């Protein structure tokens, strides 16, 4: 039964509308104040979410970005792939900085899948193999993954017979029996790729992963019931997307995507909460575009303007440290993602980075190989590669935005940029972020 408290603020989803690193972590941290439970529904340690509070910078990979508030419950849902070693490292790192993490405020789904060491070996081996085998003019088929074992772990989930779930770590003999079979198969595959000379040792792995399971035991629950219990008692849930809509396995720029449903469409499957419970979908949109790894990027700038954006936005990966590819805002892409996600509003982030450009360009249409023009996105890498971005140009501004604390105080051309986006997306910009810290946030009035 919902109480008055839950009627005021709806259950909310925060989702990236581009290719990741839109500042989801920061916005989740800000919105956590109005919610009780923060749930991750997809991805794994490929995500890197940065939160800055009072000069302290936290990089979160598997733990929801709400963890910095001691009285909130963070949930790692069944749709996430969990690397237990990375998770424990992250918990220890946060604890050493004074963040309280206990069985009460961090819950892990017993049905989340486990990223095993051989998944990371497979991920790296496949990327190396593909990088070495360039296909004609197209170059290599490598995706430029984070090498966190994400693809192979999700592949095992779908394959079923070779998967390990978090709950399995709590049953030593079951785990050991499965690993005996899995290790035989994986050893043969990795040997065939030329990356493993000695076979995997199932007993050593079972010992290690049972011990990790014991360390996590207090946190492991049926998260579907935990979330429904929270709904019943009127607690407000914030769903935190990892990766982003254009990396969604079904709706992104396939095959240059990640292996989960990162759009809001992944929420029901990845948490067990029906989608119609979500009242607010806040799409997070960087004021320009970035992409890490391979794949088409129609507005990419491989020139000094792109470098300037990279430097001003500190566009280097939180997870891998790789320089991010930078370019102008692509509204064809964002309009598509907002449609797929059912966005009810947008948060425009890293807006301060655009200070100091004479003019700013926004892509509103694509020209296709046959000369036709479209305002529809093309969620297929091979066809998107052939599209050329068509731009509209807006005037820039010179004023620094970091200390602005009300949207009405923005320079006229900065406001014009936002109004242009609102008009083209037909959505309100509910939040504007002008710096990495919690306090650098302009909320709709
Ligand atoms: P996420 O993966 O979507 O959570 O985003 P990341 O944390 O990977 O990347 C966003 C980066 O931009 C981080 O370094 C944030 O600290 C930083 N950031 C977030 N919002 C802003 C902003 O409004 N302005 C600036 N300059 N930096 C921001
Ligand atoms: P956050 O949550 C940016 C990209 C990788 C690669 C592709 C597949 O921080 O926004 P994977 O390791 O998932 O198999 O890699 O997806 N990628 C991300 N890029 N931000 C992310 O997460 C990403 N997660 C995956 O760079 O191109
Ligand atoms: Mg990131």
Task: Give the atom of ligand 1 at the shortest distance from the alpha carbon of 349.
Answer: 23
- What is the CA(61)–ligand 3 centre distance, in A? 8
Q: Do 30 and 83 lie in a common domain?
A: yes
Let me know if 21 is a catalytic residue.
yes
Let me know if 358 is a catalytic residue.
no
Q: Which of 219, 235, 253 lies at the terminal end of a domain, its last residue?
A: 219
Q: Kindly compute the dihedral angle of the four CA atoms of residues 258, 169, 38, 104, in this order, to the nearest 10 degrees.
A: -170
Residue 170 forms part of a structural domain: yes
Residue 5 forms part of a structural domain: no
Q: Do 105 and 117 lie in a common domain?
A: no
Are β-strands 359-367 and 388-395 bridged in parallel, bridged antiparallel, or unpaired? Answer: antiparallel
User: In angstroms, what is the C-alpha Rg of the chain?
Assistant: 22
Q: Which of 219, 235, 254 lies at the terminal end of a domain, its last residue?
A: 219
Q: Do 388 and 430 lie in a common domain?
A: yes
Q: Is the dihedral of CA 363, 368, 373, 379 positive or negative?
A: negative
Structural domain for 266, as ranges:
10-109+222-443
pLDDT tens over the chain, length 445 residues: 344 444 568 999 999 999 999 999 999 999 999 999 999 999 999 999 999 999 999 999 999 999 999 999 999 999 999 999 999 999 999 999 999 999 999 999 999 999 999 999 999 999 999 988 876 666 789 999 999 999 999 999 999 999 999 999 999 999 999 999 999 999 999 999 888 889 999 999 999 999 999 999 999 999 999 999 999 999 999 999 999 999 999 999 999 999 999 999 999 999 999 999 999 999 999 999 999 999 999 999 999 999 999 999 999 987 788 899 999 999 999 999 999 999 999 999 999 999 999 999 999 999 999 999 999 999 999 999 999 999 999 999 999 999 999 999 999 999 999 999 999 999 999 999 999 999 999 987 6
- What is the CA(118)–ligand 2 centre distance, in A? 19
- What is the CA(55)–ligand 1 centre distance, in A? 14
Q: Kindly compute the dihedral angle of the four CA atoms of residues 180, 182, 187, 188, in this order, to the nearest 10 degrees.
A: 110
Q: Domain tally for the chain?
A: 2
Q: Do 404 and 286 lie in a common domain?
A: yes
For residue 275, the tally of other CB atoms under 10 A from its CB is: 16
Q: Give the C-alpha separation, 352 to 264, whole Å.
A: 27
CATH of the domain at 154: 1.10.300.10
CA neighbor of 264 nearest in space, from 13, 18, 11: 13
Residue 4 forms part of a structural domain: no
Query: Which residue from 243, 266, 284 has its CB within 8 A of the most atoms of ligand 2, so it is best to mutate?
Result: 243
Q: Which of 175, 197, 219 lies at the terminal end of a domain, its last residue?
A: 219
Residue 2 forms part of a structural domain: no
CATH of the domain at 325: 3.40.440.10
Q: Considering the entire predicted model, what is its pTM?
A: 0.97
Task: Give the atom of ligand 2 at the shortest distance from the alpha carbon of 150.
Answer: 14
**For residue 49, which ligand has an atom nearest its CA?**
1
Catalytic residue among 11, 29, 35, 49: 49
Q: Do 151 and 48 lie in a common domain?
A: no
Residue 3 forms part of a structural domain: no
Task: Reduce the DSSP state of residue 319 to 3 states and report it.
Answer: coil
């Amino acid at each position: 039964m919902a109480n008055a408290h839950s009627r005021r603020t709806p259950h909310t989803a925060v989702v990236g509308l581009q290719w990741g690193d839109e500042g989801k972590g920061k916005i989740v941290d800000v919105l956590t104040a109005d919610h009780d439970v923060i749930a991750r529904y997809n991805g794994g340690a490929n995500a890197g979410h940065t939160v800055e509070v009072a000069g302290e910078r936290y990089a979160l990979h598997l733990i929801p970005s709400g963890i910095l508030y001691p009285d909130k419950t963070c949930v790692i849902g069944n749709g996430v792939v969990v690397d237990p070693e990375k998770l424990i490292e992250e918990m220890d790192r946060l604890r050493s900085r004074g963040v309280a993490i206990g069985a009460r405020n961090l819950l892990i789904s017993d049905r989340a899948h486990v990223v095993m060491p051989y998944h990371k070996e497979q991920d790296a081996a496949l990327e190396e193999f593909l990088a070495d085998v360039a296909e004609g003019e197209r170059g290599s088929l490598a995706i430029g993954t984070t090498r966190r074992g994400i693809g192979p772990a999700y592949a095992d989930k779908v394959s079923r017979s070779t998967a390990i779930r978090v709950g399995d770590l709590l049953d030593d003999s079951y785990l050991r029996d499965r690993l005996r079979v899995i290790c035989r198969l994986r050893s043969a595959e990795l040997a065939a790729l030329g990356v493993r000379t000695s076979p995997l040792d199932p007993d050593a792995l079972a010992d290690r992963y049972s011990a990790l399971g014991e360390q996590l035991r207090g946190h492991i629950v049926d998260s579907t019931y935990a979330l429904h219990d929270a709904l019943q008692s009127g607690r407000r849930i914030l769903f935190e997307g990892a990766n982003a809509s254009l990396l969604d396995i079904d709706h992104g720029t396939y095959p240059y995507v990640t292996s989960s449903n990162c759009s809001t469409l992944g929420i029901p499957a990845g948490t067990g909460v029906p989608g119609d419970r979500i009242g607010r979908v806040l799409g997070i949109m960087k004021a320009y575009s970035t992409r890490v790894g391979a794949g088409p990027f129609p507005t990419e700038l491989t020139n000094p303007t792109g470098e300037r954006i990279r430097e001003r936005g500190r566009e280097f990966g939180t997870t891998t440290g790789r320089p991010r590819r930078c370019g102008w805002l692509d509204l064809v892409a964002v309009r598509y993602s907002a449609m797929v996600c059912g966005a009810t509003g947008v948060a425009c982030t890293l807006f301060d980075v655009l200070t100091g450009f004479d003019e700013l360009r926004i892509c509103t249409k694509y020209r296709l190989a046959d000369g036709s023009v479209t305002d529809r996105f093309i969620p297929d890498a091979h066809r998107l590669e052939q599209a050329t971005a068509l731009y509209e140009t807006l005037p820039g501004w010179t004023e620094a935005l970091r200390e602005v604390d009300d949207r009405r105080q923005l320079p006229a051309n900065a406001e014009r940029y936002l109004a242009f986006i609102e008009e083209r997306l037909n959505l309100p910009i509910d939040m504007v972020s002008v710096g990495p810290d919690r306090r650098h946030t302009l909320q709709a009035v």
